[in-house]
Chains A and B, each alone.
Chain A
Amino acid sequence: MTETVIDLRDHLLASPLLAITVTLAAYLAGMRIFERLGRPGWCPAVLVAALLVATSLALLGISYDEYRQGAAWLMLLLGPATVALGIPLYQQRHHIQALWKPILLSLPPAAMLASLYSVALAWILGARPDVMASLAPKSVTAPIAIGITEQLGGSVALMMGGLLITGVMTTLTVGPLAAWLGIKDPRIIGFVLGVNGHAIGTVRAFELGSTAGAFASLGMSLTGILTALLLPLAWQLLGL
């Protein structure tokens, strides 16, 4: 009996269908649980869904490597999805045209420092090069960050964990810090959320209002592009 079950499992694992089904089911269930919990800011929906996948894998006796081989078919869609991010960027062009000067002056240092602070802190604490490479794109939206981490020789899994913590930290700190600094301009708050907190920060910004959301998605896209262009060069110059 158990032998037939194991045979069936091996047969199903031979194609990517099982991994794709598990991912899709966990995603939809995770979104549902997230809504039921009242959309908590400290726990992104994707983390709930990922936890469900990990639990399913443990129950089904599937290793992460087996799962990843199948799920790679799903991640193949990240390529065209990254290209698709150009469309919202194009739709934001009037904000860029109206405010190109403050954006040009503040975005490049902000995006570079978001990366530099964490790499420098990790280096001071004696982190390995692959750990620093995984932390460097921590404020970049995931589809772009995956490409950057692979180029720098980091771990995609560690980078994803860093991305989640960074997004959560950003959404939790921006509100209190804005109040402390006396900042009420939704353009600034949105931009800070997008530049530092990528997609998680942008979702939070849309909850604050449409202006904050628009500036967050603008900040997120520009940070992603700028980091993707500059970080691999900076890495080569630093000799890492």
Chain B
Amino acid sequence: MPVLRGFLWLLGFLLLGESVVVLGQIPVSGGVAGMLLMTAWLLQRGCLNPDIAAASQPLIQMLAMLIMPGVVGVFFIVDDFAGQWLAVGVALIAGTLLSVLTTFWLMCRFMPRNGDQDD
């Protein structure tokens, strides 16, 4: 039952995250808060509980399927955003080109040069 025990841990941290977000009125989703709490807890403990690893690996692998209902929506919104598509296209294509260039520039500027390219 390691997967079930691990899933219970994940749900526990998710509910904890939801509670922190609601009580603290923080504009972050409960999932992100739960993830940060989980990471902080693991860092503080210094070791990974095998139950949590057993539950999180399959969940992460099926992420693409879990987001699919949202992706399907893309085919049904063409009319909802009539007249907006030029702005959307330019923002996505030019915006991504600019941000890729900026990230390259920033990383080259700050990354220390060393030779441990182990691939």
Q: Are A157 and B96 in contact (CB under 8 A)?
A: no
Q: Chain B contact residues: over half helix, strand or loop, or mixed?
A: helix
Band of interface residues on A? 35 or more
Q: Are A86 and B102 in contact (CB under 8 A)?
A: no
Binary contact track A111-153/B, C-beta < 8 Å → 1, others 0: 0011001110110011110010001001100111011101100
Q: Are A81 and B66 in contact (CB under 8 A)?
A: yes
Q: Are A106 and B73 in contact (CB under 8 A)?
A: no
Least distance between B34 CB and chain A CB atoms (Å):
4
A54 at the interface (CB under 8 A from B): yes
Given contacts A143-B63, A188-B104, is CB(A84)–CB(B43) below 8 Å? no
- Residue numbers in B under 8 Å from A127 (CB-CB): 84, 87-88, 91
Binary contact track B86-119/A, C-beta < 8 Å → 1, others 0: 1110111111111111111011111111000111
Bound complex: CA of A178 vs CA of B52, how far in Å?
38
- Residue numbers in B under 8 Å from A99 (CB-CB): 111-112
B68 at the interface (CB under 8 A from A): yes
- Residue numbers in B under 8 Å from A40 (CB-CB): none
Q: Which of B44-71 contact A (CB under 8 A)?
A: 48, 52-53, 55-56, 59-60, 62-71
A240 at the interface (CB under 8 A from B): no
Q: Are A84 and B119 in contact (CB under 8 A)?
A: no
Q: Which of B16-44 contact A (CB under 8 A)?
A: 17, 27-32, 34-39, 42-43
Q: Which of A2-56 contact B (CB under 8 A)?
A: 19, 23-24, 26-27, 45-47, 49-51, 53-54
Choice from A71, A81, A164 contacting B69 with Cβ under 8 Å: A71
- Residue numbers in B under 8 Å from A50 (CB-CB): 68, 71-72, 74-75
Band of interface residues on B? 35 or more
Q: Are A196 and B96 in contact (CB under 8 A)?
A: yes
Q: Are A191 and B71 in contact (CB under 8 A)?
A: no
Choice from A27, A91, A114 contacting B99 with Cβ under 8 Å: A114
Choice from B14, B77, B93, B110 contacting A79 with Cβ under 8 Å: B14
Q: Are A78 and B100 in contact (CB under 8 A)?
A: no
Least distance between A207 CB and chain B CB atoms (Å):
11
8 interchain residue pairs of minimum CB distance: A147-B29, A157-B73, A82-B31, A209-B119, A118-B95, A84-B56, A71-B69, A232-B27
Q: Which residues of A contact B (CB under 8 A)?
A: 19, 23-24, 26-27, 45-47, 49-51, 53-54, 57, 64, 67-68, 71-72, 74-75, 77-91, 93, 99, 101-102, 105-106, 109-110, 113-114, 117-119, 121-122, 125-128, 131, 135, 138-139, 142-144, 146-148, 150-151, 155-162, 164-166, 169-170, 173-174, 177-178, 181, 183-188, 191-192, 195-196, 199, 208-212, 224-225, 228-229, 232-233, 236
